[in-house]
Each structure stands twice: as C-alpha cells, then as structure tokens.
Amino acid sequence: MSLKIGDIVARKSYGSDILFKVVDIKYEKGNKIVILKGICYRLEADAPETDLVVQSDTCVREYNARVNRSVKEKIRSLNESLMRDKSKKNSFVTSLKRIMRTFQSLVRCFILMGTVITLILVWRSTGS
C-alpha cells in the first residue's frame, strides 16, 4: 500500500473509529510513520503505515454524516438541559420574589404596629 499526503485513512488497531487525513510521512529506523490529523475531531496522531486503511469517498461521506448527527444530537440535548435549568432558575427566582414580598409585608406590619404602640404609649404618658 502506498499512502500519500491528503489520503483519508483509519487506524485498524482502533477499529477504524476515527478518520484522519495524512499530513506528513516520516521515516524512523526504516519504518514509515504517518502523521495524521482528524477530519472531524481536533486530534493529531501518528501510526505505522501498516496500521492504516485508506477510506473510500462513500465511507468518508457516511462518517461525516454520522459525526454531524452526533453533534446535532449533543447540541439538542444541551439546549434541552439549558432550558430545564433556566426553568428551574425562573421558578427559584419567582419563589424568592414571593418570599421577599411576604417579608416586606411583615416589615411594614411591624413598622405599623410599632407606630401604633408608640402612639398608645405617648397618649398614655400625656393623658395621665
């Protein structure tokens, strides 16, 4: 097998799970080492030429479609999660506002009661 820069390949040792583009070919101790960059993932790897399988255009299209579906599903799931969190946050904020209104009402009531008590005490002290 003769690989060239630009070929799309997969690693047999990893079950051809990720596709890579050949970006460089080096020789180390008489062995051909191929430098790879992921075509859909930010990943760089190297592999011996014997571990690589060139992928057909059809395989590359199917791989891209599969990765795109996976990314869209993750984005949809993340959006749903964010919406749930936002809903929880909104209900928390609503509850907090309700508690604050109740607290403000109690404070007003205590102020009013304090004013009434003060008036009663002043009235008693002046009336006696």
pLDDT tens-place string over residues 104-120 = 777 676 676 766 666 66
Render pLDDT for 32-42 as a digit per residue (tens, 0 to 9). 999 999 998 89
Does pLDDT of 7 surpass 70? yes
Q: Which residues pair with 23 in a beta bridge?
A: none
User: What does the pLDDT read at residue 94?
Assistant: 73
User: What does the pLDDT read at residue 30?
Assistant: 87
Instruction: Provide DSSP, 77-102.
Output: HHHHHHHHHHHHHHHHHHHHHHHHHH
* Cα–Cα dist 64/70, whole Å: 10
User: What does the pLDDT read at residue 58?
Assistant: 94
Q: Which residues pair with 68 in a beta bridge?
A: none
| Residue partners of 1: CB distance under 8 A and separation at least 6 | 49, 52, 54
* C-alpha separations of 41 from 16, 94, 120 in Å: 14, 42, 79
pTM, rounded to two decimals: 0.61
Does pLDDT of 26 surpass 70? yes
Render pLDDT for 49-88 as a digit per residue (tens, 0 to 9). 999 999 999 999 999 999 988 888 888 887 787 777 666 6
- State both tokens at 82: 């964010």
User: What does the pLDDT read at residue 12?
Assistant: 96
